[in-house]
Amino acid sequence: AQKITQTQPGMFVQEKEAVTLDCTYDTSDPSYGLFWYKQPSSGEMIFLIYQGSYDQQNATEGRYSLNFQKARKSANLVISASQLGDSAMYFCAMRDLNTGNQFYFGTGTSLTVIP
């Protein structure tokens, strides 16, 4: 069963606008962590933001924020004031303690920022 679902294969956003990348997850463990990574065309995986399942507030890191809706099991990434350098693949991931500290990744969303 798919643990992480990203339903948007590709997204476009105008420079300086905000964009939301969707992510839903599936776990029965009350304790888990949710992550977003960026993969530019150069190929490296860059950690962006983390949300713990017990965190009361949505995580924020600079222009990145995570819209965490626990009851809906969604962890959407919001990028504000998009920049051309934000064009990349974005992966949502979950750390699941039920399966011995494994990480599960979604299939990714390709974001293109248009000047």
Partner 1 sequence: NAGVTQTPKFQVLKTGQSMTLQCAQDMNHNSMYWYRQDPGMGLRLIYYSASEGTTDKGEVPNGYNVSRLNKREFSLRLESAAPSQTSVYFCASSEVTGTTYEQYFGPGTRLTVT
Q: Which residues are near partner 1 by CB under 8 A?
A: 4, 6, 9, 33, 35, 37, 43-45, 47, 50, 52, 91, 93, 95, 100-108
Alpha carbon distance, N-terminus to C-terminus of the chain? 39
> With the C-alpha atoms ordered 1, 91, 64, 83, is the resulting torsion angle positive or negative?
negative
Return the SS3 of 33: strand
Smallest separation, CB 69 to partner 1 (Å): 20
Nearest to partner 1 of 10, 14 (CB atom)? 10
Cβ nearer to partner 1, comparing 74 with 107? 107
CB of 52 to partner 1, least distance (A): 8
- Between 13 and 90, CB nearer to partner 1: 90
Residues pairing with 90 in the sheet: 38, 109
Q: Which is nearer to partner 1, 44 or 71 (CB)?
A: 44
Question: In angstroms, what is the minimal distance from the CB of 97 to partner 1?
Answer: 9
Is residue 53 within 8 Å of residue 32, measured between CB atoms?
Answer: yes
- Shortest distance in whole angstroms from residue 73 CB to partner 1: 18
Q: Which of 28, 29, 46 shows the shortest CA–CA distance to 37?
A: 46
